[in-house]
């Protein structure tokens, strides 16, 4: 009788614990959130981008670079082929995506691009493109030279390191230097999928410099996702997607980071783009993560774009620029502005081009 009572109490305790964890998971995924439509009047789908556009970065001359075809465990993918990088000239009214040819001994068949970032070498104006790549589920960083006039990427090298084990996004700060986010702590299932359920905050930011300079520079993230820098590169912005916040960090001369504050955004935001002139942050967000992973075509995940102005001030202004219930765009992951225009990308769905000239 005593053993039966002990077993019954143990089962009851586990049931209570599991129930509490599920309630917490629904809370952090914003499972009960329903969107109010907030459409921009001047948005159209971009022809030719139908297999996702997970990350977008825009060069000063208006040339947008776009990673497409990402395959993520647990999320749908409508492409049977490898991922690709596209380019769009935003000063061309046709808004026509052009696939970039990848030259020089690179395995394009296993290419699975995630976060991207560019760096221009001021000594010779060479443009470098850094791409987070997940061939066969691994994490590595590909370094390319972007030959703009030829619409070509020349592969320079592949960067791997034991600290770069679950890389989501990257921001380049030198020819071979970057900060990267790890969005999980565990590498293998089932622990990897259990991290949100367990409420762990064990994810990190990593700095990779020339030579052997690779180190963790910030910890304590539920899931570190998008990352970028201020226009003067004195601050780093990192998204904790399950914490619904952007962490603001000060960059030191030795490339270490000091946490300054967190700014709540009220959504599961993914990538961060920074408007060079104003320093405003533009975030592509998932307003309901529960729907995103359930992937019910009758109740699709929505999309949201959030803008943060004056983030370094004592009172940053967080505002919603766009919201859709999934009827137009599913799973927005990035919002990239340029000269009164806005590109909104998604993890596995289409991309939008919006004219903001009359909106902001």
Distances (CA, A) of 357 to 41, 124, 360: 11, 34, 7
pLDDT tens string 228-259? 999 999 999 999 999 999 999 999 999 999 99
pLDDT given for residue 24 in this prediction: 84
Rounded to an integer, what distance in angstroms lies between the CA atom of residue 273 and that of residue 306? 11
pLDDT given for residue 15 in this prediction: 58
DSSP letter, residue 70: -
Q: How are strands ordered across the β-sheet holding 203-208?
A: 167-172, 178-182, 203-208, 214-221
pLDDT given for residue 266 in this prediction: 97
pLDDT given for residue 51 in this prediction: 92
Q: Which tokens sit at 168? A: 């989501």
pLDDT given for residue 8 in this prediction: 58
Burial of 190 from C-beta contacts in 10 A (0-12 / 13-18 / 19+): exposed
DSSP letter, residue 155: E
Distances (CA, A) of 6 to 10, 20, 309, 333: 6, 21, 56, 48
Per the CB < 8 A criterion, the answer to whether 263 and 279 are in contact is no
Closest residue by Cα to residue 224 from 257, 172, 269, 178? 269
Instruction: Using 50 as the pLDDT threshold, list the residues of the chain that sit under it.
Output: none
Cα 281–Cα 282–Cα 284 angle in degrees, nearest 5 = 140
Question: Longest C-alpha distance within the chain, in Å?
Answer: 81
Rounded to an integer, what distance in angstroms lies between the CA atom of residue 222 and that of residue 89? 36
Rounded to an integer, what distance in angstroms lies between the CA atom of residue 219 and that of residue 206? 9
Give bridge partners of residue 136 from the DSSP assignment: none
Torsion sign, CA atoms 138, 139, 143, 149:
positive
Distances (CA, A) of 220 to 141, 252, 293: 23, 19, 24
pLDDT given for residue 193 in this prediction: 85
Q: How many CA atoms lie within 13 A of 183 on its CB side?
A: 19
Rounded to an integer, what distance in angstroms lies between the CA atom of residue 200 and that of residue 21? 11
pLDDT given for residue 179 in this prediction: 98
Distances (CA, A) of 322 to 100, 281, 359: 29, 14, 11
Per the CB < 8 A criterion, the answer to whether 206 and 214 are in contact is yes
| Residues known to be catalytic | 114
pLDDT given for residue 151 in this prediction: 97
Q: Give the position of tokens 């026509």.
A: 96
């Amino acid at each position: 009788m005593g053993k039966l009572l002990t077993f019954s109490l143990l089962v009851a305790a586990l049931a209570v614990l599991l129930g509490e964890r599920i309630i917490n998971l629904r809370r952090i995924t914003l499972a009960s959130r329903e969107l109010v439509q907030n459409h921009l009047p001047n948005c159209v789908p971009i022809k030719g981008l139908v297999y996702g556009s997970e990350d977008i970065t825009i060069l000063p001359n208006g040339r947008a670079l776009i990673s497409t075809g990402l395959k993520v465990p647990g999320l749908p993918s409508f492409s049977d082929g490898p991922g690709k990088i596209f380019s769009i000239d935003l000063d061309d009214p046709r808004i026509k995506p052009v696939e970039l040819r990848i030259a020089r001994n690179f395995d394009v068949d296993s290419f699975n691009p995630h976060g991207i970032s560019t760096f221009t070498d001021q000594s010779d104006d060479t443009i470098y493109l850094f791409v987070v790549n997940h061939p066969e589920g691994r994490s590595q960083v590909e370094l390319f030279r972007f030959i703009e006039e030829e619409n070509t990427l020349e592969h320079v090298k592949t960067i791997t390191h034991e600290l770069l084990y679950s890389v989501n996004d990257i921001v380049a700060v030198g020819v071979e230097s970057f900060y990267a986010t790890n969005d999980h702590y565990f590498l293998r299932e089932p622990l990897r999928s259990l991290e949100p359920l367990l409420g762990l905050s064990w994810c990190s930011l990593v700095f990779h410099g020339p030579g052997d300079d690779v180190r963790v520079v910030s910890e304590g993230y539920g899931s570190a996702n998008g990352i970028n820098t201020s226009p003067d590169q004195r601050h780093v912005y990192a998204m904790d997607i399950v914490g619904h916040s952007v962490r603001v960090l000060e960059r030191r001369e030795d490339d270490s980071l000091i946490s300054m504050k967190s700014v709540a955004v009220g959504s599961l935001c993914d990538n961060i783009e920074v408007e060079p002139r104003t320093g405003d942050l533009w975030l592509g967000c998932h307003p309901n993560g529960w729907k995103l992973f359930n992937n019910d075509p009758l109740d699709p995940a929505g999309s949201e774009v959030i803008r943060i102005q004056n983030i370094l001030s004592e009172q940053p202004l967080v505002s919603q620029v766009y919201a859709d219930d999934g009827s137009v765009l599913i799973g927005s992951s990035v919002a990239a502005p340029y000269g009164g225009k806005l590109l909104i990308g998604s993890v596995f769905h289409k991309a939008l081009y919006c004219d903001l000239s009359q909106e902001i």
